[in-house]
A = this chain, B = another copy of it.
Amino acid sequence: MKLYDLEPSGNCYKVRLLAALSNIELDLVAVDFANGEHKQPPLSDLNPLCQLPILHDGDLVLRDSQAILVYLAGQYGGLAWWPAHAQGQAEIMQWLSFAGNEVEHSLCAARLVSRFGNDLDKSAALARAAVILPILDAHLAQHEWLAMGRPTIAECAVYPYVALASEGDVDLAPYANILNWLARVEALPGYLAKP
C-alpha cells in the first residue's frame, strides 16, 4: 500500500501518525514537491487537486488526509480508531471537519507562510487561530480526548497542525488544556514524532 508522501507536510503526517499508532504498514513514496511532481501526471491524475497525501491500495486511489484516515482505520485498524456506529462516526467527523477547514485555514496556513513562504494571508490565518484555539482548549478542559472518550482518528487529524503551531508563530502557552492533550497524544504507544 503506497502513500505518496511529503515529509514536512502535516497532512501527510496525519496518515503516517495513524499508521504508526495502529501498526499499519505503508510503503512511503517521497514526492518531489519542490519540482512540482504532484502537479504532473501520474500524480495529477491520481489527485486532480494536486495535493498530498495520496493513498494507493490495490485498485483504490484516495486523496484527502481525512478520507485516508477513515479508510485506513476502517479497513485495517479494527474498531479502535473509527467505530462502526453512526453516533461515534459523527462525533469524530466533527473533528475531521475542524481539521480540514478551521485548522487548515488557520494554523496550517500560518505555517505555510512562515516556514515555506506561501503567499496566503498570514494575519487572517492568525486571527482565525485566535478564535479556534480557545474553543479547542475549552473542549479539552472537559474531555481527555476529542471524541468518544478515547483516542480516535480525530486525534490523528487535529494533532499535527496544533503540535506544529509554533512554526506558524502561534504560541500555545495560554492553552494549558491543549498542551496537556498534546502530551497525552505524544505518550500513546507507537507515537511517531512530528516532522
Contacts and interface: CB of A to CB of B under 8 A. Distances in A.
Interface of A: 48-49, 60, 62-64, 66-68, 70-71, 73-75, 82, 84-87, 89-91, 93-94, 96-98, 100-102, 104-105, 121, 132, 135, 138-139
A74 B86 contact: yes
B102 A101 contact: no
A138 B94 CA distance: 29
Contacts of A66: 93, 96-97
Nearest to A48: B135
Nearest to A77: B86
A74 B60 contact: no
Contact of A67 (B71, B74, B85, B90): B90
Nearest to A68: B90
Contacts of A75: 86-87
A58 to B, nearest CB: 10
A91 B62 CA distance: 7
Given A49-B135, A60-B87, A135-B49, A93 B67 contact: yes
Most buried by B among A68, A74, A90, A138: A90
11 contacts: A48-B138, A60-B87, A63-B94, A66-B96, A67-B91, A67-B94, A71-B90, A71-B93, A82-B86, A101-B104, A121-B121
Given A70-B90, A100-B101, A101-B101, 5 more contacts: A48-B139, A70-B86, A71-B86, A93-B96, A96-B97
